[in-house]
Copies of this chain bind each other. A is one copy, B any other.
Amino acid sequence: MSLYVESLPDQQPSSPVHGDRNKCPVPGTLYNMNTVEEFQGLDRGGLLKREAKKIWDDICSGRAIEEGTLLLRFFVISFADLKKSTFSYWFAFPALFLNPPATLVDIRPASQFFNLDEAKSLSVSLNEWRNSKLTTDVPFFLVCISSDEHATIRPLRELDDCQHDAKRLLFGFYDSCNGKYPGWPLCNYLALICSRWKLEKVCFLCYRESNRGFPDLGRSLVGEALVSVPQEWRDAQHVPKSLGWELDGEKLSAKCVSLARSMDPLRSAEIAADLNLKLMKWNVFKDMDLETLTTVKCLLLGAGTLGCQVARLLMSWGVRKITLLDNGRVSMSNLLRQNLYSFDDCVAGDMKAVAAVKGLKRSLPSVKAEGVVLSIPMPGHPISTQDSSNVVEDCKQLQNLIESHDVIFLLTDTRESRWLPSLLSANANKIAINAALGFDSFLVMRHGSGPISSMPKDEEKVEDASASLPLGNSSASRRDGGSRLGCYFCNDIVAPIDSTSNRTLDQQCTVTRPALASIASGLAVELLVGVLHHPNGIYAPGDIAHSNVSNERSLGILPHQIRGCLSQFSQLTLVGHSSNSCTACSDAVVSEFRSRGMEFVLEVLNHPTYLEDLTGLTSLMKSASSFDIDFDIDSNEEGDI
């Protein structure tokens, strides 16, 4: 008896399973338990009795004569500890008891029983029987030897004819055992024979095959058993006693195999990583889109405190394609907050982009992580003429990276370094997730879709939420007209400028309450997961916490911005729509970028106020100042916010 992968089909096969020349399918049942306690606590006696009763019922009804495999019913109980890769299982092959037991009066190799002519004829007949599609998987049959020593194989139902025709009649069956004695199928066979036909002397053939799959009369056995119908069987309700639990060596106990050691640890790590997510989907989050999560390509701009934590959390959510961009080296001051780096990376002077990939692979060797060493060109950091071709190359590389990823995380530590990625993400209509920290406050937000509809004819189609890809980046159509969600720069009234030069040490270091980055990274990643699971993807409107909007999505609401404040242990969800004067995502800016390309970018890098002219902020400021409004730009704010 062997169990193969195909023995455990995903679904009940619609048509009966047929065997072939070397296989005879047998019906079995797998009882897989969810917990080890359930496995250990199973009522094994009851299970065996239940299965034996099925066999008995099939004997009594005569079904077993037509479908002999029913006599071979078996079952397995099992428990799979997927976390430890250990598998406990116990087979039972129920064998009905005769009472009093059958008496074996003769048993010998078939080759000693038949004369040469009989043996030859029998081998041919058996071979034909096995070769015929009709009979190949019929495990119980009759062997008739005629008086001219000619052997034929006949179905059980023809017993009466055979008894009449044959000189000698044997009850044949496939014997999966290979020892000196017949295997367990004989028990149920005898039960059938003696219950159906009331025979008292049964001559049987344990049919066995050679290693090459042909009838082997040297291995096959012929025997004679004396049986009598037990008294109790006359009682219609009675079910014969049965045996059948497989021994583990000499012990009556379950077998246990641990595959943990023989498994490739790299593969085990992958399996374990996926297991948690599968359980989450199975148990709570039924709509979880594992396929999207494992295939989405995330680009993290900045591999600092936020970048490290976001990358780890993305991996926990099943994201496997992560590119980290940074231009710095691991320094001693990074180690405590930036959890992908080790002291050794720092002593070796590794680039963060390189060390971060090593760090991720320390947790999951198979993750598809890449590091890119690149400086993000920034408005207000002027470029000399001789550097400009290099900077243009950097801009183009950044553009290519953004266009070849699905999601862009903005995790740098200055406002101006977010400008070009914000513009490029808006231009390519990519999901952009932004996290920025102050001393004890943070902002986490997703940018709205890009401003320019490149496929306006698709607009109606995209309105049909179910038809749009959740990533939303296959179409840049503006689906929400004027109410596009804003980007990081939409509320600003000045263009980004150089905020890094001439900073003292305390201004250079990220002076934030240490837990802030954990919280903001966490929210940023959950926000992305929300977008990926929202039917409208990048076009999803911004939800507000505890608003009356009915919400049936398993993940809950999908806000636009989350602002948090540790000094109040509070958190707010906000919505901000896109601004026509935005220096990064407005139609004016994206159009100008599309028509002038990197020449436009260079002009902004050297003269950020040009953005204010372009977007109308300059004239807005002028008209505002004529009303003497106090804009109250608090210069004491810390960090990026």
Contacts and interface: CB of A to CB of B under 8 A. Distances in A.
A516 B440 CA distance: 19
A83 interface: yes
Interface string A418-444: 000000000000000000000110000
A81 B508 CA distance: 11
Interface string A624-636: 0000000000000
Given A269-B343, A347-B265, A555-B567, A509 B279 contact: yes
A291 interface: no
B362 A343 contact: yes
Contacts of A346: 265, 269
A504 interface: yes
A81 B509 CA distance: 12
A24 interface: no
Contacts of A342: 362-363
B505 A336 contact: no
A522 interface: yes
Interface in A511-566: 511, 513-516, 518-519, 521-523, 525-526, 529, 545-546, 555-557, 559, 562, 564-566
A284 B343 contact: no
A35 B503 contact: yes
Contact of A335 (B34, B269, B331, B562): B269
B557 A332 contact: no
A566 B526 CA distance: 8
Contact of A505 (B279, B309, B332): B279
Q: How large is the interface on A (under 10, 10 to 19, 20 to 34, 35 or more residues)?
A: 35 or more
A573 B571 CA distance: 11
Interface string A488-510: 00000000000001111111111
Interface string A176-201: 00000000000000000000000000
Interface stretch (A11-19, A160-168, A270-278): A270-278
A365 interface: yes
24 contacts: A34-B504, A34-B505, A37-B501, A37-B502, A82-B505, A83-B331, A84-B331, A265-B343, A283-B507, A284-B439, A313-B514, A335-B363, A336-B364, A341-B363, A343-B362, A440-B555, A513-B529, A516-B522, A518-B518, A545-B568, A545-B569, A556-B566, A562-B569, A569-B571
